Each structure stands twice: as C-alpha cells, then as structure tokens.
C-alpha cells in the first residue's frame, strides 16, 4: 500500500501543469496591434535622428510626447552610418542611435525603425552610400549578390547596436520596416524575400512593408509573412485588403505616411505653403482623416512630425522631365514642429484632435514653451581665396573620370586641361551634365551647362594652344526616387557624378587632364583676404566673416540661440558655421535662409562663417541672423537665355 502511494505521488509530479504562455511583447492579429496581449493603437509621428542636431533630440522627443503620440517612426540612413565601406560611424554623436532610443524610452515612447536599405526621403541616393557604385556588378534594390552581401553586412552591424533595444529584450523598438515603397520601383520577389529573411534573422519584432495608395503598388510591394501597410489615409485601408491576397501579409491597418506637409526643392518654380494658413481645406481634410483613423482604432504615422534639416550635402534630387531638381536643405519645414523645433499653430490643432481619442488625455503633459530665436546684426564676409588655393587632392588622367572612381562621394571636382592645339566648336563633356558644369578658359567663366533646366545651355569655345580649359562639376545630389514605368532613365542605377570619358570641342578630342578633388566636408584654412576687386566670371571664391555673441548666464547653454542665416550678394554656394557644413544656398529659392542650431554657436566668443560662392561677382557679401525663416522665389540668374 505504501508503494502504491509513492508511485501515485511520483505520477502526480510528472503530470505537466498546463498554463497560458505569456503574451508576446508586441505583435498583431487580424485586426489589432497587440502590446503584451492587449489591443494597441499606434499614434505615431515621423522624426529622423539624422535630420535633427543630437543636442536637441531630448527636447524634440519631449514635444512628441506632449502632442499625445506614443510612437516615433525613424528612418536610418545607411550612408550616414557607413559613409565609407567598412567604416562604421556609430560612435559619432549624430549617429548614436542607441542614445536616441534611450531618450524615447525615458519619455515612455516606442520607436519604429526604418533602416532601408533604401529609404528615399529626399536623401542623397535614397540613403544608399555612394561607395556601392564602386562595387563591380552591383545593382541596387534587386536580387543581386553584391548588393545583398553589402546589405547583409549593413543590417548585421546595425542590429548589433539596435537589436538589444527591441521590446522583446526590454527596450522600446516595436517594429522594423524593410525597404520603402518598393512597389513603386519594382516587383522582384526574390529581393523582397531576401530582405525579409535577413531582417527576420536579426530582429525579433514584427516586420512590415509600406507602399503607396495604389492596388498595383501594394501588390508588388508586399512580401509574404510581412505585414503590408498602405500610405495615404484611411481610404487606402480597404484597398490594401483588396490588393494583398496573401493572408500572411494582412493584419491591422496603419497609415504608414499620413503627409501633413510637403518637401521642397530648389528652383524658382517651387512653391512654399504654410499648411495651417495657406491651405485651410487641406488641414480640414487632414483632421477628418485623423479622426476617421483613430475612431476606428486604426493606427497612423504623421509625416512629418518634425522634418528637420538635410544638413551639409546630404539632400538628394529628383530627375524628372529631363532635368534635375535638387531637394532643399529644409525638409518638410512646415511640419508640426518647425525647423527650429518650435511648435506651430498646426501642432496645437492636431494635439487637440489626438487628445479626443486618448482615455487618459489628462496625463499628457503640456508642451514646453517655445524658445526665442536669435537676431544677429548684419556683418560682412570678405573674399579670402580662390578655390584653386584650397585643393588638397590632385590626380592626373588621360581622360576625365567620375568622382566615385576617385573615392569621392560629395562636393565638387575640377578637371583641368592645357590645350595643345587650336580647337573650335561646341563643348561636349560626357553623356549629360552630372549635375552642373561651369566652364572656364584661362580662369574666366565661359558658360554653364547644367541639368537644372529641361534644355541645358550649350557652350561654344575657341581655344588656342596654351589655353587652360577648366570644367568645375558640382554634385547637386544623387537621385532619391525613381518610379517604375517612368520614361526617365533609372538614375538609381546610374548615380555617377562628374565627367567620364571623352571631352570634345568641335571635332577635337582633348586628352591629358589634371583632376582636383574638392569634397567640401570642411572649410579650408584661410589666412589672408584677397585685395583689389572681384572680377565677374572668375573661379569660385571662399569668403569669411566673424560675429561675436554675448555670454550666456549659468545654465542657459544654447537656449534661445537658434537663428536663420541669410546670405546677401551671392548666387549659389555652400555655407559653414564654426566648421559645420550647414548646406547649400541658392538665390533662386524658395528657401532664402539656412537654419543654424544654437548648439553650433559659441556664446561670448568669436564665431566663424565660411562661404564658398560658386559664381562670385561681389567684393563683399553680407550675412545676418534672423528670427524667422525667409521664403521667396526669384528668377534663376543662371538660367539659359532663350
């Protein structure tokens, strides 16, 4: 009897206890996103860390929380994280994405990562690094072994930094988007599945794809076992369900990009709109769509919550109608936070609408007051040196070669040829302008051939033996978008800049070139001003000026020191403040002032401004800091004359 009791006791211990497994940290079913097993509505806003000075991440995230959103969507640009092959740059403060995630977590916000590899977003080559073009046989955004190998290396290195921040590991990253609007580009199933498999092996959270509000785009963009998301308002939700027949890609609805503002491009035709005042009907429609989405417990990503700035030469371009239109420095400048991170009237309108749908709206903190902006009185910029005096990289070649061949990604490149025999006729340099060729003979400008106009100008030359022909080529940004079915050439596959191959004048082929590289990452050391006068038509000139700011009180740091810098007397060029490349300016507009974060400035000390004016004509330029951004369209003074 005792033995029977022992056996029964042992059997009882061996019987498993059936319990319900804990819910996944984040996931989704057929209708809802699920946060620890409970329905969760994503109320999100787009803010890309690389477009915001890292010193300001905390304040911008605090303002996101005060808006009532619970999730930040963030694009990650491969060309910022790995600007040169194998040189990972996450230790740079601006690339310290774990710090960005940490701040968001402190504020109780979740994050959706968009690592690409292609992200678009008006960035240079859609965020792809220029050095991919140097890999033999590589074809971007396709089932191409060299591209997939490079992408796998990028994803793996990125995941090493960011995977520990997934919600499955106690962090706040809840989803990862793969590619971006791929249905607008192609329909390569093997490529999409390869990206899915890569991402799924590195991240534990749900993956999703995002495509435009079109049945064909959704069909071609979706990937099996990856949630399909539509962009462009709740009207796209039933379209997604109709277009995507693979049940493994169906699930809750998310408006992947609910556009509340517009990106701008350089050029006199571009129009700037303040959404809250210039387009009231748009705002009414947006509020209506926001209400329709949230009242149905669907999710949304407001694009952009804060657009920020394409600092330096990081903006890309579009190639449409046989012409290049570069994106402006200011990205979605009229979003809910302006470029200086200040709340706009639109912010408060949208906030009031969001709070209607929050059960605990009283717990949402009010936004902090806007910081004042800085006024800097006008000061002079004097000419210091010709661009020739600042070149540090020089090569010689029989024929010109692209920037990429010389391991140069951005900036300018100067091709110089000493004429051996007389030549007359039209100048032909490569297959097309990439993107702007300023032509000089013996140091004086003879014309400009650019891709900014549908019908580029032609330049006719009469060269004599001993003349020096110089072709200065500006990279105005690799194309960031291409649509399948477009009649335009696919410049995603042709990102090369500069000149490659034959240069002819009439029937003469010019051989023997000195090539000077000018990456424009940092301003040169300029010691002595140029005396005399500036002759119109000379090679580009560096200008320099200084201004001093008062000391700040204890604890004030750079609060209230942001400003908008305006350059007068120039045409087109590049601006640095205290060695930091702010970006391009162009008198044609529509952007007439550049955002200067106060974090760049030195209170109580001298602050330096350098300007590289590409077509100088003034002995003195002037600069000033303003408290409002200036928008104005002006005629392009360098447009071809009809």
Q: Coil, helix or strand for 406?
A: helix
Local confidence band at 637 (pLDDT 50, 70, 90 cut-offs):
confident
Do 223 and 312 reside in the same domain of the chain? yes
Judged against a pLDDT cut of 50, whether residue 17 lies above it is answered with no
Residue entry with tokens 């990205």 = 331
Lowest-pLDDT range, 136-145, 245-254, 425-434, 483-492? 483-492
More reliable by pLDDT, 424 or 275: 424
pLDDT of residue 414 exceeding 50: yes
- Residue 401 within any structural domain of the chain: yes
**Is the pLDDT reported for residue 11 higher than 70?**
no
Q: Is the pLDDT of residue 456 over 60?
A: yes
Task: Work out the average pLDDT over 569-583.
Answer: 97
Position 15 pLDDT exceeds 90 = no
Q: How many helices (H) and strands (E) does the chain have?
A: 11, 31
Check pLDDT > 50 for residue 13. no
Same domain, 533 and 514: no
With 90 as the cut, is the pLDDT of residue 22 above it?
Answer: no
Which tokens sit at 412? 């300018």
d(CA 285, CA 283): 5
Q: What is the pLDDT of residues 609-628, one digit of tens each?
A: 999 999 999 999 999 999 99
Q: Note whether 182 and 152 are same-domain residues.
A: yes
Q: What pLDDT does residue 275 have?
A: 62
Asked whether the beta carbons of 544 and 526 are under 8 A apart, the reply is yes
pLDDT digits (tens, 9 = 90+) for 159-190: 999 999 999 999 999 999 999 999 999 999 99
pLDDT 10s digits, 480-492: 998 888 888 888 9
Q: Could you tell me if residue 635 is inside a domain?
A: no
What's the number of domains the chain is made of? 3
Backbone angles phi, psi at 327, to 5 degrees: -75, 145
231 and 267 together in one domain: yes
Q: Report yes or no on 197 lying in a domain.
A: yes
Region of poorest pLDDT, from 12-21, 349-358, 626-635: 12-21
Residue 368 DSSP code: P
Q: Spot the catalytic one: 257, 416, 474, 613.
A: 257
Give me the pLDDT at residue 454, please: 80
The answer to whether 188 touches 140, Cβ cutoff 8 Å, is: no
Owning domain of residue 254 = 37-363
With a cut of 50, say whether residue 7 has pLDDT above it: no
C-alpha 304: how far from its chain's center? Answer: 12
Residues 593 and 511 reside in one and the same domain: no
CATH code, domain with 546: 2.60.120.260
Judged against a pLDDT cut of 90, whether residue 19 lies above it is answered with no
Query: Other CB atoms closer than 10 Å to residue 254's CB: what's the count?
Result: 29
pLDDT band (50, 70, 90) for residue 274: low
Same domain for 537 and 449: no
Q: How much of the chain exceeds pLDDT 90, in percent?
A: 81
Q: Residue 527: is its pLDDT beyond 90?
A: no
In a domain, 29, yes or no: no
- Residue 493 confidence (pLDDT) above 80: yes
Residue 628: the pLDDT is: 94
Burial status of residue 9 (CB atoms within 10 A of its CB: 0-12, 13-18, 19 or more): exposed
Low-confidence winner among 169-178, 316-325, 556-565 (lowest mean pLDDT): 556-565
Q: What is the pLDDT of residues 243-271, one digit of tens each?
A: 999 999 999 999 999 999 888 999 887 77
Is residue 394 scored above 90 in pLDDT? no
Look at residue 131 and tell me if it is in a domain: yes
pLDDT for 489 = 84
* One domain, residues 221 and 341: yes
Residue 488 CB neighbour total at 10 angstroms: 14
pLDDT, one tens digit per residue, over 353-371 is: 999 999 999 999 999 999 9
Q: What is the pTM of this model?
A: 0.94
Under the banding of pLDDT at 50, 70 and 90, the label for residue 639 is: confident
Does 317 share its domain with 458?
no
Give percent above pLDDT 70 in the chain: 94
Q: Within a domain: residue 482?
A: no
Does 404 lie in the same domain as 342?
Answer: no
Q: Are residues 408 and 343 in the same domain?
A: no
Q: Note whether 294 and 153 are same-domain residues.
A: yes
Secondary structure in 3-state letters for 57-84: HHHHHHHHHHHCCCEEEEECCHHHHCCE
Mean model confidence pLDDT for the chain = 92
Q: Of 181, 334, 474, 638, which one is the catalytic site residue?
A: 181
Tell me, yes or no, if 181 is annotated catalytic. Answer: yes
Q: Which residue matches tokens 């740091």? A: 557
Check residue 23 and give its pLDDT: 76
The answer to whether residue 13 sits within a structural domain is no
Check whether residue 324 and residue 428 sit in a common domain.
no
CATH of the domain at 45: 3.20.20.80
Mean pLDDT of 512-519: 96
Residues 564 and 624: their CA atoms lie apart, in Å, by 8
Residue 411 lies in a domain: yes
pLDDT at 455: 82
Answer yes or no: is pLDDT of 3 > 60: no
């Amino acid at each position: 009897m005792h033995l029977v009791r022992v056996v029964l006791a042992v059997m009882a211990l061996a019987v498993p206890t059936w319990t319900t497994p804990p819910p996944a940290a984040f996931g989704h079913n057929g209708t809802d996103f699920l946060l620890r097993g409970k329905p969760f509505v994503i109320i999100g806003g787009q803010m890309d860390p690389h477009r915001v000075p890292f010193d300001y991440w905390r304040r911008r995230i605090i303002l996101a929380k005060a808006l009532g959103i619970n999730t930040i969507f963030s694009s990650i640009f491969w060309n910022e994280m790995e600007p040169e092959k194998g040189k990972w740059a996450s230790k740079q403060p601006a690339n310290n994405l774990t710090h960005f995630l940490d701040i968001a977590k402190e504020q109780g916000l979740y994050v959706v990562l968009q690592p690409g590899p292609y992200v678009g977003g008006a960035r240079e080559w859609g965020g792809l690094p220029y050095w991919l073009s140097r890999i033999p046989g590589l074809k971007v955004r396709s089932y191409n072994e060299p591209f997939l190998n490079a992408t796998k290396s990028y994803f793996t290195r990125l995941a090493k930094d960011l995977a520990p921040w997934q919600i499955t590991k106690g962090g706040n990253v809840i989803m990862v988007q793969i590619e971006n609007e791929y249905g607008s580009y192609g329909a390569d199933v093997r490529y999409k599945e390869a990206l899915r498999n890569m991402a799924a092996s590195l991240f534990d959270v749900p993956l999703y794809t995002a495509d435009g509000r079109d049945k064909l785009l959704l069909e071609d963009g979706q990937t099996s076992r990856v949630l399909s998301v539509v962009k462009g308002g709740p009207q796209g939700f039933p379209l997604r369900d109709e277009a995507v027949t693979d049940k493994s890609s169906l699930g809750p609805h998310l408006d992947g990009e609910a556009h509340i503002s517009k990106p701008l491009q350089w050029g006199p035709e571009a129009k700037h709109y303040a959404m809250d005042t210039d387009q009231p009907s748009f705002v009414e429609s947006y509020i209506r769509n926001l209400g329709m989405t949230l009242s149905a417990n669907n999710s949304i990503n407001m694009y952009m919550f804060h657009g920020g700035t394409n600092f330096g030469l990081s903006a890309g371009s579009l190639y449409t109608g046989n012409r290049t239109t570069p994106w402006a420095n200011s990205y979605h400048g009229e979003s809910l936070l302006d470029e200086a991170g200040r709340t706009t009237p639109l912010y408060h309108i949208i906030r009031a609408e969001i709070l209607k749908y929050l059960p605990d709206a009283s717990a949402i903190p009010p936004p902090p007051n806007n910081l004042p902006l800085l006024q800097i009185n006008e000061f002079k910029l004097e000419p210091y040196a010709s661009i020739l005096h600042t070149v540090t990289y020089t090569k010689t070649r029989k024929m010109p070669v692209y920037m990429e061949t010389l391991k140069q990604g951005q900036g300018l490149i100067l091709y110089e040829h000493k004429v051996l025999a007389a030549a007359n006729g039209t100048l032909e340099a490569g297959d097309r302008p990439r993107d702007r060729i300023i032509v000089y003979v013996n140091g004086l400008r003879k014309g400009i051939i650019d891709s900014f106009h549908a019908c580029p100008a032609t330049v006719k030359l009469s060269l004599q033996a001993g003349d020096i022909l110089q072709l200065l080529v500006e990279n105005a940004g690799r194309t960031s978008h291409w649509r399948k079915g477009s009649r335009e050439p696919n410049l995603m596959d042709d990102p090369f800049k500069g000149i490659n191959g034959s240069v002819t004048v009439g029937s003469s082929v010019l051989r023997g070139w000195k090539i000077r590289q000018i990456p424009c990452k940092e301003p040169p050391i300029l010691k002595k001003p140029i005396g005399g006068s500036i002759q119109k038509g000379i090679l580009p000139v560096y200008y320099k000026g200084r201004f001093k700011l008062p000391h700040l009180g204890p604890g004030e740091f750079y609060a209230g020191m942001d400003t908008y810098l305006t350059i007068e007397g120039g045409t087109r060029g590049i601006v640095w403040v205290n060695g930091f490349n702010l970006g391009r300016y162009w008198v044609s507009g529509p952007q007439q002032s550049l955002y200067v974060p106060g974090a760049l400035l030195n209170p109580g000390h001298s602050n330096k401004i350098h300007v590289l004016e590409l077509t100088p004509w003034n002995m003195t330029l002037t600069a000033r800091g303003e408290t409002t951004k200036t928008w104005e369209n002006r005629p392009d003074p360098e447009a071809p004359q009809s």
